[in-house]
Structure 1
């Protein structure tokens, strides 16, 4: 009999959780990560969400709906470091770990030799406890026979959720859920399906004829039906790339169309990645920005500098041109990623900025070391407002 060996883990309010690990005295209060001046909320605690604070919401509006909100600035380098620690612990259990984004991913525990669902569940509950005890990061887990069902399960009872979908019950699990639980069906689409077509639950999809489904979903109707039946044959993909590139991506909790927010997310990724580049004593030349739409189509565009660098400042001006080139459809986005390639060993720089670069590099090194030690946040730039979680 098959076992629920595919696991989706999703850290709860990840950026806020990372900050609260440094400031545990704030636990239980309404907290959010974001900028006070012209800022946007990038992560909100569940207490804050209960008061109507969400991402991406302008900070000014968040303080209006929740006057006692505790606003926390972004701590550069913290989130990527905690993410690595989280996934490193996952890899101590199974070599098949897919780091889907900074705060969520998949595990395939089939190689672990478990002989019963109870053994799988015990191991994953142990991992959930360990992530809390050692990192102070609350994480929700979904266990199933495939990635689709595991992902939906992990998000069903957040925070600190733990949902197991026994083999053979995938449809039974999905059919009573709102259709918006299926990947690729955002809030606007969910409303349209309900108002125009009477499709509110996942089971409603399976009650429609092929002709109706073609009209409603177009050419993608077979994929929608497969999801509604809980079918998914995608494997957990292990990233076996070495230091030939540095990349980070973020799947938004809701489809996002705000250009300013997406620009801030991209620049925040640059900050996180360049700290890792410096830590590895490397420099990079090429930045590629990728966007993904709710229907899973995606586009990307890259730009190469004349010489390798390990400083954020040389890549900031590329963000908007690359975003404009990649985001041609101008529809709301589900995901954005930044990738650095053209990796070289330390040395070489843009000669016209040599003196200025050395000053920036010394300052960056000091801030990197301070942030690695933790403690009070050290903010490099006003744009360091981070991604939704």
Structure 2
């Protein structure tokens, strides 16, 4: 059974307890070590790891990256995770679980910079690279052996070491025959993991696992499966496609195939962005519809900027609300034609908001997304239903140009202004002199 030393990259034909070349014990052994080529790479607690790298005194401290007591956990280190802290957990719950945690506000510019450095190292390995998030990607290294002079497993071990030395954070690597199993392998022994699941063992490895392990099975589907007496993936895997479709709808056959470790998705470097969004958490819960509309307008402006950066337009609007008791509400409206105008997005989202904000329900978060997406070139061309769209688009472009030159606050719509603005300071605050 072939083995790979993850420190010196020596490959042996037999299993090793320690490396015959360097003596170290970080050994990866697998029957398909030399043939598996699909890799899932996930940075370990990325935001928190970057902060610990920059502040070594925090190395042994629990670290939470997040915003304020009203916000949520963006990321947390593994020490904090042992105390029960999880990503997306409300901050007040995280601090109750880990009161001695060091809380750091997210520095997205820094994280994006480091993620791009890691991405550059990935791009040197294979052109078949598909980013999944800022700190996660899938790669297919099939056919790269001649280029690198080594099988994919050794190339990935070198990559992980390069990230650790050059960037100062660690990654976990999952290697398998398809994307699904590579992702599950990457989660097996984090942090600093390197796990393999072969094509021949996938079904047997999955069979005893709870159904919740499978990506795409959320709490609702887990309850539905449990009601049918299915709690393990092996129970789901034995259903034939007809049975699966009858019991679980059109997604049933795909569900049972994935429960057997099957996944036909290719690594696609040109995969399109499915949605673009923006959201904000309030300092205190809001009930008043007018009070909710002000942050909604600002989010519409932010969403348009994000769409422009990606050369995309909104073909529809998704409104997201989170109640004071952390229940999510999502509403969707299709637009007559693609747009990059915040007032068009706001009008559609405002109508959705009016159906949810009755003055009685308190909300802690509001967000807006664009879905489906369209090409920016098709936005706001104008038609009989909206002949003024091109003129308004030109006006908005002028507003953005002024903001870029003179600052974000150079021009603001009245609906974006606070209802009780702070009184002016300095000479302007003094009453006029009387003669």
Would you call these one fold, judging by a TM-score over 0.5? yes
Q: Describe the shift of the 1:217–1:22 C-alpha distance in structure 2 as closer, same or farther (beyond 3 A).
A: same
Query: 2:333 touches 2:348 (CA, 8 Å); kept in 1?
Result: no
Q: Describe the shift of the 1:160–1:353 C-alpha distance in structure 2 as closer, same or farther (beyond 3 A).
A: closer
Q: CA deviation at 1:37?
A: 4.2
Which deviations, in whole Å up to 9, do the C-alpha atoms of 1:79-116 show, x marking residues without a partner? 2222222121111011110112222111010130369x
1:219 is matched with which residue?
Answer: 250
Query: 1:94 touches 1:108 (CA, 8 Å); kept in 2?
Result: yes
Query: 2:128 touches 2:139 (CA, 8 Å); kept in 1?
Result: yes
1:82 is matched with which residue?
Answer: 114
2:339 is matched with which residue?
Answer: 304
Query: 1:35 touches 1:41 (CA, 8 Å); kept in 2?
Result: yes
Q: CA deviation at 1:184?
A: 0.9
2:221 to 175, 180, 189: 189
Q: CA deviation at 1:211?
A: 6.6
1:321 is matched with which residue?
Answer: 349
Q: Give me the whole-angstrom Cα distance separating, in 2, the residues matched to 1:320 and 1:19.
A: 40
Q: CA deviation at 1:10?
A: 1.5
Which deviations, in whole Å up to 9, do the C-alpha atoms of 1:340-365 show, x marking residues without a partner? 9648xxx99644576555332699xx
2:76 is matched with which residue?
Answer: 44
Q: SS where residue 406 of structure 2 aligns?
A: helix
2:164 is matched with which residue?
Answer: 132
> What stretches of structure 2 of length at least 5 have no aligned partner?
1-31, 279-291, 319-331, 357-368, 378-393, 411-435
Which deviations, in whole Å up to 9, do the C-alpha atoms of 1:23-78 show, x marking residues without a partner? 23212321111112422212122211221212322212221221101111011312
The equivalences for 1:364-375 within 5 A come to none
Query: 2:66 touches 2:103 (CA, 8 Å); kept in 1?
Result: yes
Query: 2:240 touches 2:253 (CA, 8 Å); kept in 1?
Result: no
Task: Confirm whether residue 198 of structure 1 aligns to residue 232 of structure 2.
Answer: no
Q: Describe the shift of the 1:42–1:158 C-alpha distance in structure 2 as closer, same or farther (beyond 3 A).
A: same
Q: Give me the whole-angstrom Cα distance separating, in 1, the residues matched to 2:239 and 2:76.
A: 39
> What stretches of structure 1 of length at least 5 have no aligned partner?
251-259, 278-282, 292-298, 307-313, 329-335, 364-389
1:168 to 197, 200, 208: 200
Aligned-residue CA RMSD in angstroms? 4.5
Q: TM-score, structure 1 length as denominator?
A: 0.66
2:407 to 330, 353, 360: 360
Q: Give me the whole-angstrom Cα distance separating, in 2, the residues matched to 1:67 and 1:350.
A: 47
Which deviations, in whole Å up to 9, do the C-alpha atoms of 1:115-153 show, x marking residues without a partner? 9xx822111111111112111222111111111111111
2:54 to 17, 22, 26: 22
Q: Describe the shift of the 1:353–1:110 C-alpha distance in structure 2 as closer, same or farther (beyond 3 A).
A: closer
Q: SS where residue 127 of structure 2 aligns?
A: coil
Q: Describe the shift of the 1:230–1:24 C-alpha distance in structure 2 as closer, same or farther (beyond 3 A).
A: same
Flag the structure with larger Rg. Answer: 2
Q: TM-score, structure 2 length as denominator?
A: 0.60
Length, aligned pairs only: 316
